[in-house]
Amino acid sequence: ENAIIIQLNENFKIISCKLYGGMLNDRFEKICYDYNNDQFFIMGKKDQLSGYDFGNGGNGVTGYILCVLNESLKLKNYKIFTYQIKRIEISENIKIYTIYDYFVLTPDLSVISSLVFDSESVFAMYMDKWWVASFSRRELKIYDINKNICVYSCFYEGMNEVESVRIIGDELVLIG
């Protein structure tokens, strides 16, 4: 599962071309463009035996990588995550959630704040400056990311288990 990024000029002529991929079970998973900072985010999984993983080789529990590339497709920075990145939101800051973590990062991947969920999350979303909602299979929890604590919790009524959460228009839809 590789990716190719081709950069074109206004006349659709190729300026540069980069191939991202790897060996064994390495895989490319997501790409996002940050229009505010003219940079790309590439997310993927590194197999611990494939090498070329920024000195992270051999550490099987931290194999998810987020890379920042500049407008010339050169590596600017990277960050290693324990769990797969489920969602990335790009605004003034970068917001990332995995099934057990939520991070607010600067565009160069410095950590502004982070939160560890106390149960596996099916979906998480940033609500406002310091509030994060985490939807697990059986309950909703609201966290204060600044204090790293759960401030509200409730079980879903009428649903045994949530499998996924979707944003449809202005509504949040729980699917169970």
pLDDT single digits (tens) 33-73: 888 899 988 888 776 665 555 555 545 555 788 889 888 88
The C-alpha atoms of residue 144 and residue 113 are separated, in whole angstroms, by: 11
pLDDT digits (tens, 9 = 90+) for 75-94: 888 888 888 888 888 888 88
In Å, what is the CA distance from 105 to each residue of 3, 79, 112, 114, 143? 24, 10, 5, 9, 17
Do 126 and 132 contact (CB within 8 A), yes or no?
A: yes
d(CA 150, CA 31): 31
Q: How confident is the model at residue 1 (pLDDT cuts 50, 70, 90)?
A: low
The phi, psi pair for 61, rounded to 5°, reads -90, -5
